[in-house]
Amino acid sequence: MAPLQKRALVSLVLGLAWTAVLVVLFIVRGGVEEFASDSTTRILLSGLFVAMLVFTGILGVPWKARTARGSEVDERDLEILRRAPQVQLLAVMLTLAGWVIGLTEYYWDEGCMPVTWPYLMLFSTLLVSTLAQSLGVLLGYRGK
């Protein structure tokens, strides 16, 4: 397994585990209503979210690609890394489509939706984008 591939796998597994923790905490602490009204819940979840983005989005695959020595990352790895955004784009588009269609249909009659949802949309889209980068790298190695 190439060093970049290893880093992508670790980032994906840790990212998924971290996402699961975030989702469980979100539900346990009262869901959307509590997130909107309790600033402690919002700060806790936002902190965990930002920590996850920093860990997997910055210290994961991109960090490895930047700091790897010559024999660890070569032109093939960089080519795979360059193609990963295709998977990211697709994942982000599907996530946004899911959110927009779901929320629009759910709140159609009210004509408006709680302000918390756009916040959660941002959270989830960034999470998906970060995880999809690692997934894109892993898929790239399967094809090459």
Partner 1 sequence: MIYNNIRRLRFDRGEMTQEELARLAGCTRQTVIALEQGRYVPSLELAFRIARAFGVSLEEVFEYHV
Per CB under 8 A, 137 contacts partner 1: no
Minimum Å gap between C-beta 87 and partner 1 is: 19
Per CB under 8 A, 87 contacts partner 1: no
> Which CB atom, from 35 or from 64, has the smaller least distance to partner 1?
64
**Whole-angstrom Cα distance, residue 21 to residue 26?**
8
Q: Which residues contact 84 (CB under 8 A, 6 or more apart)?
A: 61, 132, 133, 136, 137, 140
Minimum Å gap between C-beta 73 and partner 1 is: 7
* Dihedral (Cα; 14, 27, 51, 8), 10-degree rounding: 20
**Whole-angstrom Cα distance, residue 3 to residue 72?**
6
> Which CB atom, from 111 or from 143, has the smaller least distance to partner 1?
143
Minimum Å gap between C-beta 56 and partner 1 is: 22
Q: In the stretch 38-77, what mask flags binding to partner 1 with x, by CB under 8 A?
A: --------------------------------xxxxxxxx
Q: Which residues contact 114 (CB under 8 A, 6 or more apart)?
A: 32, 36
Q: Which residues in this chain contact partner 1 in the complex, by CB under 8 A?
A: 1-3, 5, 70-77, 144
